Structure 1
Amino acid sequence: MEKLRHMGSPASVSGPTFIDAFAGCGGLSLGLMRAGWVGQFAIEKDPNAFETLHSNFLAPDARFSYRWPEWLDRSPWTVEQLLEQHPTRLLQLRGKIDLLAGGPPCQGFSSAGRRRAVDPRNGLVERYLELIDIIRPKFVLMENVLGFTYDFKANGKNGKPVSNFAGRLKERLSQNYEVVSSTLRASEFGVPQQRPRFFLVAVLKSDSSSEKLETFFDDLRTAAPEFLAARGIPRKVTARTALSDLELARNGTEPCSDSNGYDAISYKGPKTNFQKAMRDGLEGRPTDTRLAKHRPDIERRFKKIIALCHSQGRLNVQLSKAMRERFGLKKMAIRVLDPNEPAPTITSLPDDLLHYSEPRTLTVRENARLQTFPDWFSFKGKYTTGGKMRIREVPRFTQVANAVPPMLAELLGQTLGLVWRRQTNQTHRSAPNFQRDLDRPVKAA
């Protein structure tokens, strides 16, 4: 396999171009830009998530920036609105965009929620296909939950099962694209989280091209050890390796700068190679360390639950029925992190995971660490939401949970960059290969 190389620098505009659809807070965009891809714009409808996008990719001091077109307002958009209001502009992009990236919202597919084939959010797959048909990018990169690959059960006695959306998507794309897909477990790529997800890569068919994608995901896995070694990160990153520098016992607290009446974790500095990589040059305390306000009786309950899960070896798994009955809990999804293993997953509900040693839930920043967001990446908007607003709003915890881990996205971007160079007969450019602190191995802590 050809050796992976960066295709450009953060300031480079000579790399391959991409549009991020259903961008969320920008985890996929961040990884692709780090790999040298040039973001044109992002499509995200939620005001909270778009505020995060704007802060990190459109602010004057942003480390990575979209080349946002003048004809498109820098504001939240749905794919439907874009298709309706700018059809001519989109058609003018045909053949000029190298990659359409992103994944339609996953709530209707997720096995963690109420899977419904008729969930209106599932229809966004069709809008995604419309966008592909109009722009006709050279490549497509899509990510979704594993439930995207599952068939739906029949509705009622006479109902028929509904085939899974992954198969239907591949069938539709295969008319114009070579398509490959795979399930990737994030923990195999240095992400401190198990999280199996569905990924699809497609390349536009061309008579003049002999490029095939059969080995794409094998190449991705082969490249992972060298990719991580360049950052001083082990192949397996545990929860403690990711979070030990954010423990209250080490740092203490201070008033939260963006939430009156709340405390936040103070910060003394990184301890592990992974933490040093996630600091990524940031000085001082990271944002988004606001602590939940747990009542004293809740803290006592959490302390007992954590101790019991450690003693019974029930870490990273749901509490047993006996445990829930003992503590009067109806919620089934509560899990205590195993400090010596990657986290099981990240969810949009902050009380789904308890810290491995401290009687509390995790902060947004700790969830972001488990997703490999660098500490300088700040999240905006509400912290949480509830009730009916859960399906309408994307607060900070949900933004983090829905994101593609940026480090995995970067490796995907580098691997796809090799295909792009061969597909377009590009030679490696002489642009800086941005060997920043993240790329240099650091001494063991």
Structure 2
Amino acid sequence: MSEREEQKLQFIDVFSGCGGLSLGLSQAGLRGLFAIERNESAFETFEANFLAPNSVYKFQWPPWLPKEAIGIEELMESHEAELAGLEGMIDVLAGGPPCQGFSSAGRRRVNDPRNQLFKSYLKLVDMVKPRAVLIENVRGFTVDFQSASAKDNYSSMLTEALSDEYQVKDALLNLSSFGVPQNRVRYFVLAFRKGLKVGEPFNELSKMLPGFLRALGLQAPVSSWAAISDLEISRCGEQASSESAGFTEINYVGPRTKYQRLMATESGPGDLRLARHSKAVLGRFAELIELCRAEGRLNISISESLRQKFGLKKRALRVLDPDRPSPTITSMPDDLIHYKEPRILTVRENARLQSFPDWFAFKGKYTTGGKRRRHEVPRYTQVANAVPPLAGRAIGTVIAKILQANLSAKSLSGELDAVPELAKIGA
């Protein structure tokens, strides 16, 4: 085995957020070099989990890059020479450009400046020239933008820009098939440098999923109940919050399902702070749970009649179905009501639905509102914006398999070239 094969494959995470994709790739056996994230709160979470002395998966951060929040354009302007020096050394450049301008859950805007960040990502690809490129985004990334002057489709623009140097494959994936307890459809691009033997990576991913899940003791789909039933107040009780004065938190007892045991840590989870609902809200939520059950409207937006009954303007409000994966979680904590208890979910419950293990700690404010939502990234938003680690782990496993197979073939070819007798036998 060559020295290159003995080393872990290296990746850079661009637009890393709190680190969901970084965690999944690390769990797949890849080694993180550095991450690019401009929001300070999200980077604080990333730093706590990947750069601390006791981190489970520690990044090998380069000395020339400060360990702080930084935007991609600022990075390329300030460290052009250092990035150019990485050419040919990076196995995977991963990331998901901010999706708010593409998402059907928000206001799709063709001129949203965040939509242009994927061009910066492509510029970085050209500078570093990784062996593989991994991109994740919302389904809306594949939908045409209609404007007065043009019809723009960012997925087509992306694949066309990569196709000169890379073999580009893309797919829409429902991440519930990866054991993520959430009905979350996302767009993925896997691109490998031309000259590598690749095949069909998404077919390979589909074939390896049953064994991947068996190895983790999981069977997809995983229901909301299987993910968060150990966090029910009726089972655990409440205690004063260890972090926020005036709040209470769930007094965790222990796991009760295979999925919960996979997520569990000996010290127990954090981020269990409960929202302070008024008696009126508690009563409304309790009635909504019962009425949505009766109407068969679990996991889908409440009916117009219920909105009128309770005088609600919010259209995205849903009650969880305990027997199915949750709907796609959003950055709005009051979009989901617990399937049994009259309350919204805690940060940890949302993190469970995203497949974050319980040791993963989130930092910063819990929530935000109004105009601050444009630039603040509190804990609920960090969780919602993340790539579910289980999905990143499965995809990272396939990428690693493809790259290692090519490295092994290259190593063998070099050995044959060095020994004329063997080269003749192999001819």
Q: Quick check: TM above 0.5?
A: yes
Q: Is the 8 A contact 1:117 1:162 kept in 2?
A: no
Q: 2:91–2:131: 8 Å Cα contact kept in structure 1? A: yes
Correspondence 1:219 to 2:204: yes
Superposition pairs for residues 154-173 of structure 1, below 5 Å? 154=147, 159-173=148-162
In the alignment, which of 86, 110, 125 is matched to residue 79 of structure 2?
86
**With structure 1 as the length reference, what TM-score do the two structures score?**
0.90
**Corresponding residue number in structure 1 for 2:38:** 45
- AA at the equivalent of 2:361: S
Check if 1:153 corresponds to 2:146. yes
Q: How many residues in Structure 1 have an aligned counterpart in Structure 2?
A: 408
Q: Secondary structure at the match of 1:76?
A: coil
Q: Please tell me the residue identity of whatever aligns with 1:230.
A: A
Letter in 1 for 2:187: F
Instruction: Name the CA distance, whole Å, in 2 between partners of 1:427 and 1:356.
Output: 53
Kindly report which structure 2 residues correspond to 1:94-133, keeping only aligned pairs within 5 A, or say none. Answer: 94-133=87-126
The offset of 1:256, in angstroms, is: 1.3
Task: Give the drift of 1:285.
Answer: 3.0
The residue that corresponds to 2:423 in the other structure is none
Equivalent residues in 2 for 1:356-371 (5 A)?
356-371=339-354
Q: Residue 323 of structure 1: CA displacement?
A: 0.7
Cα distance in 2 for partners of 1:171, 1:285 equals 47
Q: Quick one: which of 175, 190, 197 aligns to 1:201?
A: 190
Equivalent residue number for residue 18 of structure 2:
25
Q: Distance in 2 between matches of 1:161 and 1:262?
A: 51
**Structure-2-length-normalised TM-score:** 0.94
**Cα shift at 1:76:** 0.3
Which moves more between the two structures, 386-395 or 136-145? Answer: 386-395
Hey, what's the Cα distance between the residues in 2 that align with 1:188 and 1:359? 29
The corresponding residue for 1:440 is: none
2:52 aligned with 1:59, yes or no?
Answer: yes
| 8 A contact 1:421–1:427 mirrored in 2 | no
Q: Is the 8 A contact 2:142 2:153 kept in 1?
A: yes
State the one-letter code of the partner of 2:217. Answer: G
Deviation at 1:388, TM superposition (A): 1.1
In 2, the alpha carbon distance for the partners of 1:404 and 1:70 equals: 27
Within-5 A mapping of 1:281-360? 282-360=265-343
**Aligned position for 1:228:** 213
Number of the residue aligned with 1:381: 364
Q: What do residues 99-144 of structure 1 show as CA deviations (whole Å, max 9, x unaligned)? A: 1000100000001111011000001011101100100111000000
Matching residue of 1:250: 235
Please, what is the CA RMSD of the aligned residues?
1.5
Alpha-carbon separation, structure 2, partners of 1:189 and 1:130? 31
Residue in 2 aligned with 1:415? 398
2:421 maps to none
Structure 1 residue 212: Cα displacement: 2.8
Kept in 1: contact 2:33–2:62 (CA 8 A):
yes
For the Cα contact (< 8 Å) 1:266–1:285, is it kept in 2? no
Q: CA deviation at 1:160?
A: 3.5
What is the Cα deviation at residue 400 of structure 1? 0.5
Secondary structure of the structure 1 residue equivalent to 2:216: coil
| Aligned residue among 138, 146, 163 for 1:174 | 163
Match of 1:188 in 2: 177
Question: CA–CA distance in 2 between the matches of 1:28 and 1:85?
Answer: 25
Residues 371-430 of structure 1, C-alpha deviations (whole Å, 9 max, x = no match): 0000000100111111111110111001100111101110101111111012222699xx
Q: Is the 8 A contact 1:151 1:161 kept in 2?
A: no
Q: Contact 1:178/1:205 (CA < 8 Å) preserved in 2?
A: yes
1:398 to 381, 402, 412: 381
Maintained 8 Å contact 1:143/1:197: yes
| Unmatched segments (≥5 aa) in structure 1 | 1-11, 429-445
Asked if 2 retains the 8 angstrom alpha-carbon contact of 1:190 and 1:236, the reply is yes
Aligned letter for 1:386? G
Q: CA deviation at 1:162?
A: 2.4
Letter paired with 1:60: P
Q: Residue by residue, what CA displacement relative to the aligned partner does 1:205-233 show, whole Å, maximum 9, x if unpaired? A: 12xx4x134x2111111111111111111
Larger deviation, residues 228-237 vs 137-146:
228-237
Say which one has the larger Rg. Answer: 2
- Supply the AA of the counterpart residue of 2:100: Q
| Per-residue CA distance 1:323-365 (angstroms, 9 max, x = gap) | 1000110010000000000001110000000000100000000
Partner amino acid, structure 2, of 1:423: N
- Match of 1:330, SS state, is coil
Give the Cα–Cα distance (whole angstroms) in 2 for the partners of residues 98 and 200 of structure 1: 15
Kindly tell me: are residues 91 and 337 of structure 1, through their superposed partners in 2, closer, same or farther at Cα, counting changes over 3 Å? same
CA 1:212–1:265: 2 relative to 1, 3 Å: same
Q: Could you tell me whether the CA contact under 8 Å between 1:267 and 1:284 is conserved in 2?
A: no
**Which residue type is aligned with residue 180 of structure 2?**
V
Is 1:13–1:38's contact at 8 Å kept on the other side of the alignment? no
Gaps of 5+ in 2: 412-427
Structure-2 separation of matches of 1:257 and 1:144: 35
- Of residues 235, 244, 256, the one that matches 1:271 is 256
The answer to whether the 8 Å contact 2:268/2:359 transfers is: no
Contact 1:288 1:378 (C-alpha < 8 Å) held by counterparts: yes
Change (3 A) 1:34 1:391: same
- Tell me which moved more, 416-425 or 192-201: 416-425
Same amino acid, percent of matched pairs:
51
Residue identity in the other structure for 1:125: F
